[in-house]
Chain A
């Protein structure tokens, strides 16, 4: 044995271990593609997190806010909200992705001639569909009830994260003001999220711990929907007190400008002053009362509350929280980002219904310029009216003669509000409070409190603001009942596509079983051959408040003492 070999072996062994020890720094790869959570812990990082609510709160799918996503209905504003508009008979569809054909399918339509169309789905009642088919964890991303819940809790989580960090971060300039803007921002959107949860689900959860960098989880203490609304108002009141103590200076403007996407800062979507912001909150708080109480059950005290809140609510000159599309669809896609964009044209996912058109003052013969500028008959190349009949095995109420006009290609009168415009940034979505909503809530309160003329004047103001071109109703001697009809028509038309129609249909009792006085008579409806009937009766029979989605209950069972998570209906 040569000593030479010995050294070789030793040498190689040393080489081996030498190589190994020099490797350890190579293990430090992290993820070179994306920042770590520490990036959120700076002034700019926190503001970026604040802007992130437009992603996490409203978009779903791969690398976005919520787990489940189906591109046919789309994200929050075109998908989750479509469930509202479908149940409210604003739109109809025969497309079955995540059951959008079933959630708003009435039990029965009876035509003038006595013939009827039952819900052809199996199960053939919406309540059974929800309970038997939809609301199971195993239905996963097809559960109709999942979406609004998931989006709003994702929004809530981002807000919790902002609130958990805001006092840890060093700010330059007027740090107190910047912090206040961020806190108000988070509290406002938490208030918004809880408002939507409490206005839709029979019970909810109050979750205040952030999840992301660490997983703090949730809690199993389900509270009744009224308590969720209370939580919404608590967050909103906290925002009011912060904003009340904040004055608008350059740092305020700069911070809020950075929190609102630049493409939204158009039209009504400017940078709100603290006062404007407070007014948006008041209007939202008024909504929380109005939409969660049956009209028949509204107390005088509640009308007074609404009067008080709307008196301090959004004015016609105010900026509010809006959404717009841009070419890269950062928040909304120009052609598909909202319900109305997806209801545009003759062959889109959604079609506006006969009943929406009927609710114009005067129905399809209306003088309302909003009708002429936004709605047209569905015709073929030779000009013949071709009702959309579609997949008759999927529903009974989506047959329609109407389509929404794309104002990008058919501009119409600039003075008239646009219901759809598919050019980037063309359509203005009202995400929360608007002047019209405030005015009409106030009008409703006034009418029911006996100040009919004052209420009608507000309806006229709204119609004027939207360029309806209708003759004033104030001063025409309408009875309270006639005034209520004007108000209901105006809420259907003036507030359409603002995610409010379902609330109205619910509180007006239309969605209740016929046996309880629900449904709609004198309705315009088509049968499957396209024949138009004008005195049809529709029995919707929808669940008024949704059960807690089973996707939640499966992973977060109710703790002892929780409120019921299922609507007893």
Chain B
């Protein structure tokens, strides 16, 4: 402290050295000639400066002669203007497209000019975010962050995107990064709850090298959102309305076979084993008997027309429908010198693309208010409130699966004689199919969520050296969901089956057909308190030493507490004869879940940074955390970090040489960091499972056991990169500011936690252990450039590229671990030396004499004569026509893409016309087409009608081959026939905007813009499913580390045509 005081005293002397002779006044305006408040105005090489007022005006004491003024503002190009003799000055500032001149805060603790940053930080400003039909920030980020894989994996309204920043770090906790909003963690609320229109800027740091300062939760990277702030000056009112029409994607032209192979009589009438034509009993809605379908009979072909008693119905047309999304928002912002505010309210309403399936509706309120309480002391309050209501009745998989697994002759629209919607039309229409319309008829869902994100930030900037900052964030989510399955006991079809001793109905907890009401009352309360002190010294400026060293020291305390509560009750047995009714009118009631999960972690961060001139900088620090997962009295775990940059372009020879004309900016950077990934709150606590058996308590150890010896997972990352700005044709409008930032990274996680199988004779199934070593590496590059910048036209291009691969380095016990997709059926493998989450199963052969990994024939030599390669390229048995599948299982390959790439182009003509488009290219991702696999079970897939020939025979669509793909070795086993290349090129966004306010110079209107936009309008892919982008990971937040390559009846994305009107006053 004494030192600081001494230094401070020194500074006071230094400040008085400068003489201030006269007062210069001026005005700073933007490109629209509107006053710009908050611009920093500094007399170069001094600490003399001011900030422009609400109208953009400023006044500053300047020397009588000489000197240069530096004008800077985030997002605008910094200008240096030599002071003339005039006492007035007018400055027009323009937007800076060179990303390197931005200031970033994420990953560095202290706001830092991007030119002096040693880590890779991506930042995306609001103007770069497309107005996605979902109006959510997560969808808008797709393709915007170099290196990140952000995928829209489901088209269900409100579905979250899948985010994988850099590699897979942990199996235990998924790939989701930490989300910060204005500096505090947002733990309870999901990213898709945040209204796109309230966000000013997003910064992303992708791994431990940058995220160490965020502690254990930062290992997967950090996405930080910055809420829009008001600017002092005049009041701004912005209104935006959009409507979009969404149509589900079917880019692979999925359809059902239009021919069948059932036993028919001479008139092609489908008959049952009784010899009678199949009929539907109108009283029950059930078919009279099963179809006769001898799928493995080598003479049977899928070649009969649906032209008699069974007719072809287009189920896709029946169950999918175009849906609308309507978004509205209004924002008011403004402020004075002492305060600023931005307040907005918005609503997004999205209907399901599935028939009669409800909607998803979100309303947001945001208020960002800042005040200056005293000189240097500011208080900011940011409030986000979101109310989300979903009435989506049925999980997409339930509906789509049952629809896809019905023979096309099923007439789902037919009702029984009393008007009931039949549920089970009999096994006749397909083993796994029930009528999805029935689900919609008897389900009612009302899922309401309130999210509150409130943060307070008290910041005290002392005149010199010290900045104190305290932030408190509260993130609260409360969910109240009422799910009702109505009483179905009077449904004629249900009653028929009950009479047949076959229970056919839907329910949540009820084991009878009398319905139930389940109420879910869940909440999450998350609190984050951060207090930091930052000490900054500039040895040259502050102490007048001839040594341009700057030092910045940050000490921070970070406390986080999360409490999850879940409470589920169900009332069972609903009235059948009257309505309305409520849960009190039911016959029984029970609590099914009562759960509380507290979690507390806190720790210290110390980070020291030195910058020498503008040339080199180095920083290092550590973070030390305590965690309730380890209990009271446990030791903290401490991880370090360090980074450095070397900015060659600031050297004299460069700055003053010719090279600066071509490469004005050149920086080398490298960073290293470790972050701990904590076990889940109870992973280390061993408990006995209590249950009730009859009337008494029973205890037992469940098969899945915790482990008190569990250690924290450790993710270590090294990254190195270059930040370059290139000017190709100086003094022409073409290709001037090309900013390129390539980064290579390499990381590994040790002690990754997993539920490791134990031998069943232990009497348990799995025990948590620090089981895996995981390694990943990748390369990413972002290129942004102003391709053309003329007086009327600007053309900006951004290209984002990233490749990454994650591998399992070691597994405890060395046994391969077989996993099954959460959506069911598909197998993955986790095995040392393999990439994480490879699909795993039996392979088809393409040569009769193919050999295995040991050089042995798959088909014994003596039997090879029984097989041939069919015209479709697969080895089949000549007699049975069944495909040959290997007895052993193999990993098929990595479902994760080889690279992701986005091309973003924006054109602006005369400030009023804007045109933009974005292509996303995901290369060599793979999906296991489980949707199709299931459609092979009953011969429903249109593949069944594809003829092929064996040894030159007449080509036929033999069912034995197709059925064999489903049934051979393992019924519905994972087979490489269904493992498909899901590479795609997608026109993600395209938009045309015309601002009438600028075209016609309408007074009072700052903006009157009409935007026509489209999303996902065009996709190029060889994938044969609905949508190559979907993934059926059903983990709670769709962020599974390994379950990333299955398409199992998940709702495809939709293409949207959107009209938006943006009005600004």
Contacts and interface: CB of A to CB of B under 8 A. Distances in A.
Binding between chains A and B: yes
Interface of A: 1, 5-6, 8-10, 12-13, 15-17, 19-20, 23-37, 39-40, 44-45, 48-49, 51-56, 60, 63-68, 96, 99, 101, 120-123, 132-133, 136-142, 146, 149-150, 153-154, 156-158, 160-161, 205, 207, 210-213, 215, 217-218, 258, 261-264, 326-331, 333-335, 344-348, 380-381, 384, 386-387, 389-394, 403, 406, 409, 422, 528-530, 549, 551-552, 554-556
B702 A65 contact: yes
Interface in B662-700: 681-682, 685-700
A142 B970 contact: yes
Contact of B687 (A36, A138, A161): A36
B613 interface: no
Contact of B284 (A64, A157, A329, A381): A381
A34 B690 contact: yes
Q: Which 5 A/B pairs are nearest by Cβ-Cβ distance? A: A157-B763, A67-B765, A345-B501, A96-B971, A52-B700
B449 to A, nearest CB: 23
Contacts of B887: 123, 132-133
Given A32-B596, A348-B502, A67 B766 contact: yes
Given A19-B559, A346-B500, 7 more contacts: A20-B602, A63-B704, A138-B816, A146-B760, A215-B705, A381-B496, A392-B293
Interface residues of B, number: 110
A211 B466 contact: no
Contacts of B599: 29
Nearest to B468: A12
Contacts of B688: 34-37, 39-40, 49, 212
B784 interface: no
B762 A392 contact: no
Nearest to A553: B759
B942 interface: no
A331 B820 CA distance: 27
A346 B820 CA distance: 32
Given A65-B700, A132-B887, A6 B1 contact: yes
Contact of B693 (A28, A35, A55, A215): A55
B427 interface: yes
A554 B602 CA distance: 41
A33 B632 contact: no
Contact of A140 (B9, B431, B559, B820): B820
Nearest to B273: A530
A328 B293 CA distance: 40
Contacts of B632: 24-25, 27-28
**Residue with the greatest number of chain B CB neighbours at <10 A, chosen from A27, A140, A394:** A27
A236 to B, nearest CB: 20
Contacts of B294: 392-393, 528
Nearest to B497: A347
Interface stretch (B213-221, B623-631, B1027-1035): B623-631
Contact of B760 (A150, A384, A394): A150
B693 A331 contact: yes
Nearest to B535: A9
9 contacts: A13-B533, A23-B626, A53-B700, A63-B702, A215-B767, A261-B694, A386-B273, A389-B292, A552-B760
A60 to B, nearest CB: 8
A133 B885 CA distance: 12
B815 A66 contact: no
Given A12-B468, A211-B701, A149 B760 contact: yes
B764 interface: yes
Interface stretch (B961-969, B981-989, B1055-1063): B961-969
Nearest to A156: B763
Interface SS majority for chain B: mixed
Nearest to B764: A211
Given A54-B693, A65-B702, A529 B557 contact: no
A139 to B, nearest CB: 8
B531 interface: yes
Contacts, number: 331
B228 to A, nearest CB: 30
A1 B12 contact: yes
B503 interface: yes
A552 B696 contact: no
A120 B816 contact: no
B289 interface: yes
**Residue with the greatest number of chain B CB neighbours at <10 A, chosen from A34, A35, A120, A122:** A122
Interface string B522-561: 0000000101010000000000000000000001010101
Contacts of A12: 468, 531, 533
B295 interface: yes
B694 A391 contact: no
B30 interface: no
B631 A30 contact: yes
Interface string B736-768: 000000000000000000000111111111110
Interface string B66-107: 000000000000000000000000000000000000000000
Nearest to B531: A16
Given A133-B970, A394-B971, A153 B762 contact: yes
A27 B626 contact: yes
A373 B693 CA distance: 31
A35 B762 contact: no
Given A36-B687, A40-B699, A386-B273, A29 B600 contact: yes
Given A23-B626, A384-B274, A54 B698 contact: yes
Given A138-B818, A154-B764, A392-B296, A213 B686 contact: yes
Contact of A344 (B1, B289, B501, B681): B501
A53 B468 CA distance: 60
A28 B631 CA distance: 5
A212 B701 contact: yes
A215 B762 contact: yes
A387 B272 CA distance: 11
B638 interface: no
A465 to B, nearest CB: 27
Given A16-B557, A330-B692, A32 B598 contact: yes
Given A16-B531, A217-B762, A393 B296 contact: yes
Contacts of A261: 693-694, 696
Contacts of B18: none
Contact of A330 (B273, B289, B693): B693
Nearest to B572: A327
B701 A56 contact: yes
Contact of A49 (B695, B699, B963): B699
A149 B559 CA distance: 48
A71 B604 CA distance: 49
Contacts of B968: 122
Contacts of B630: 27
A393 B763 contact: no
B1020 to A, nearest CB: 36
A471 to B, nearest CB: 32
Contacts of A555: 757-759, 813, 815
Nearest to A324: B694
A137 B818 contact: yes
Contact of B694 (A64, A330, A409): A330
B113 interface: no
A4 to B, nearest CB: 10
B8 A1 contact: yes
A141 B820 CA distance: 9
Contacts of A133: 887, 969-970
Contacts of A205: 761
A29 B764 contact: no
B1005 interface: no
Interface string B477-516: 0000000000000000000110011110000000100000
Contacts of A529: 273, 292
Contact of A218 (B281, B691, B762): B762
B86 to A, nearest CB: 37
**Residue with the greatest number of chain A CB neighbours at <10 A, chosen from B296, B691, B694, B815:** B694
